[in-house]
Each structure stands twice: as structure tokens, then as C-alpha cells.
Amino acid sequence: MNKSTVIIKSPGRINLIGEHIDYNGGYVLPAATDLFIKFTFNISERDYSEIKSSVINKEFNVELNNLKKSNIKWENYIIGSLISILKKRNIRLYNFNCLIEGNLPVGSGISSSSSLICGFVQGISLLNKLNFSKNDLLSISRDVEYNFIGLKGGMMDQFTIINGKKNNLILLNTTDNSYDFIEADLGNYQILLLNTNKKHNLSDSSYNDRVDECNEAKRIINESGLNIKFLTEVNKDQLYNLKNRMPKLIYNRARYVIEENERTKKSIKFIKEFNFKSFGELMYSSHEGLKNLYEVSCKELDFLVDETVEYNQILGSRMMGGGFGGCTINLIHTEFIDLFIEKISRKYLKKFSIPISPIVITLGKGLRQEK
């Protein structure tokens, strides 16, 4: 039996702009981070498999011939991955030991769940010599989140984690997964995340409601005579002409999606021209849409964004991720980072009685095996 060790590093992801767009068929602008989850796999002689996480200080065992859903959520990311792998390849897997380590924060809006799934699936693939392609990894990982966990999102997170490239953004067209790498030369500016440390649980929140609301908007649009697959195929004028046919809430959701998709397309020009001020304005507009039209922000996120406006050294800020908690993403002058963190940490603690966690981001590599 092959007792070789398999080590996998799976990054988190940020998204500069294009929030809640990946399940609506538009453009997004994500990147892999230098923060990661590390998996160490070994084949086990036992008749069960053991998974230990030093990140959350928990462990559990599974029997590969008796896989069933757990009452403990994080375990289901592992169990669901194994079930999805066995659906893809009807083979007998080796029992294994898996140690999960790393520095990727959990529940902060930088895709720790997708990173966990992608890294685990790749590790099992290599341990069992399944030779999964990137597309295999993408479809399996999406299947776990969509069908087993119950989160109706798109594939931006998984795609970015699997395909990320150091110091590059990915302009991803989620209608067909075509993409371009864009070198992320931000000059004197850096990306700063501020984690609210407010607990959020997307599959138990209103995230799936937003997907359903967008589908309802699409249904009404198609009933009018248009034939669209994705909301982003409609322009603002076409949507406005249908305003009286839609409940206000549904109209607002669709309006946000169309406007955010346009912002993402505009942002590429500004980044390539090093026009970070104009790009930052798009970030603020994105947050206003997420707050007022899409209604996925919260008072903690709004406070952090509002507090940046008075500083010329911060060009843009918005909530990032599914919402209802998580973090803000900020485009900030390098020399102002330390002072701003000191100021905002003090203000946030005073207002909400919980600390924020600042994270300066470097764009890292995608999913990879370590030797």
C-alpha cells in the first residue's frame, strides 16, 4: 500500500467587485489570497478515516462505506466531498488520516468553506490517484456546496481557488467561465480587509432568498417576451420598462445585479489605466447597492465603510462576500494602513464591543500540491 504523504495548500479568495453576480451570469473580479488552508493526508491501515482540524480544534472519524450527513456543519463539508467524489468515480477509496491547518480565517467572507472543499477533494484525488482535472474539481466542489450544504451560489469561489495566479486578478465571465488574468499592480495602494467578527451562516441566512428573488425577476422578464438565461443579459432600460410588472423588492434586486455587472466591466479600464480613484468610487457605489437594493449588508459593515469616507488615503471600500457579516475590502495607501487600523479598531470596539480583525492581503497562488 502506498504510504506517501500528500500535502495540499488551498487559498482563500477576495473579490474586488462583482458581488452576488456569479449566479446571475455576469462579470466578477476575484483573486486568490496568500492566506490558505493546509491539508496533510496519509493512507491509514485502520477501517475508518480520521480528520483533525487545528484551525477549529475539532476532529471526527468517518466510515467510507457508511457516509451520511452529520449534525455538525463543518463535518458535512468533508462528508459531502467524499459522497460527491464517489458519485463521480464509483471506486473504493483508501482510508486516510487528514490534518487540517492554516491561517485562513473562518466565516470572514473570504471563502474558507470553498477552500476547505476544494483542498480536501484535491487531496483525496491525489491520495487515490484519481487524476481529477480542474473541471472535475470545479464540478465536484460546486456539487458539495449546492446539493449537500444547500448554498445556491455560483462558482466564482471555487474557480478562483482552483485557478488563482500570484499577483493577478481574474476577470471571470460567469456565463461560460471564460476568463483573463489581469496583473494587479496597485502602485502605492494595498488591499486591507476588516473582519467584523460578526458570526454569519450563509445557508441559514437570506443568501438563498436572493438567488430565488433573482430567479423570480428572470421569470417575469421572460414572461414579457424576452428570452434570457441570466439577469445580466438585460440592460437598465429594458428592466425599467418592466418596473410596473415587478414587486419593488424584485425590481431592486434585478437593478442591483445589472448595475453591479456594469461596474465590474468599467473597473477593468480603470485598473489598467491605474485610475484607482475612479475604481474606488465604483467600490463605494457597489456597497450602496448591496446595502440599499440588495439588502445584504449589516450595521457593522456599514459602519466600517462609512468610517473610511473621511480619509483621502482610502480610495474605496465595500462589504465583500455573501453579506450579513464577514468583512469589508478597502483600497488604502500603504503608508496609512497602520494608523487607520489603530483608529478604526478603537472606534469599532467602542461601538460594537467586539474587536475587528484587520488582514492585509497579498494576492497568492491557486490550489496546489506541496512537495
* pLDDT tens, position by position, 226-252: 999 999 999 999 999 999 999 999 999
pLDDT band at 207 (very low <50, low <70, confident <90, very high): confident
pLDDT at residue 134 tops 90: yes
pLDDT band at 202 (very low <50, low <70, confident <90, very high): low
pLDDT band at 200 (very low <50, low <70, confident <90, very high): low
Domain ranges within the chain, ordered by starting residue: 6-183+366-370, 189-361
pLDDT tens string 136-174: 999 999 999 999 998 888 999 999 999 999 999 999 999
Catalytic residue among 22, 157, 209, 237: 157
Which amino acid makes up residue 78? I
Give the span between the Cα atoms of 30 and 350, in whole angstroms: 32
189-361: CATH, from 3.30.530.20, 3.90.1150.10, 3.30.70.890, 3.40.640.10 = 3.30.70.890
pLDDT given at position 351: 98
pLDDT given at position 151: 87
pLDDT given at position 203: 47
SS3 string of the chain?
Answer: CCCCCEEEEEEEEEECCCCCCCCCCCEECEEEEEEEEEEEEEECCCCCEEEEECCCCEEEEECCCCCCCCCCHHHHHHHHHHHHHHHHCCCCCCCEEEEEEECCCCCCCCCHHHHHHHHHHHHHHHHCCCCCCHHHHHHHHHHHHHHHHCCCCCCHHHHHHHHCCCCEEEEEECCCCEEEEEECCCCCEEEEEEECCCCCCHHHCCHHHHHHHHHHHHHHHHHCCCCCCCHHHCCHHHHHHCHHHCCHHHHHHHHHHHHHHHHHHHHHHHHHCCCHHHHHHHHHHHHHHHHHCCCCCCHHHHHHHHCCCCCCCEEEEEEECCCCCCEEEEEEEHHHHHHHHHHHHHHHHHHHCCCCEEEEECECCCCEEEC
Instruction: Please indicate whether residue 209 is annotated as part of the active site.
Output: no
> How many beta carbons lie within 10 A of that of residue 4, not counting itself?
10
Higher-confidence residue of 57 and 350: namely: 350
pLDDT tens string 288-335: 999 999 999 999 999 999 999 999 999 999 999 988 889 999 999 999
pLDDT at residue 196 tops 80: yes
pLDDT given at position 152: 87
pLDDT at residue 3 tops 70: no
pLDDT tens string 79-128: 999 999 998 888 899 999 999 999 998 877 899 999 999 999 999 999 99
Cell of residue 132, nine digits: 481529477
pLDDT band at 1 (very low <50, low <70, confident <90, very high): very low
CATH assignment, 6-183+366-370:
3.30.230.10
**How, if at all, do strands 49-53 and 96-102 pair?**
parallel
pLDDT tens string 54-79: 988 999 999 999 999 999 989 999 99
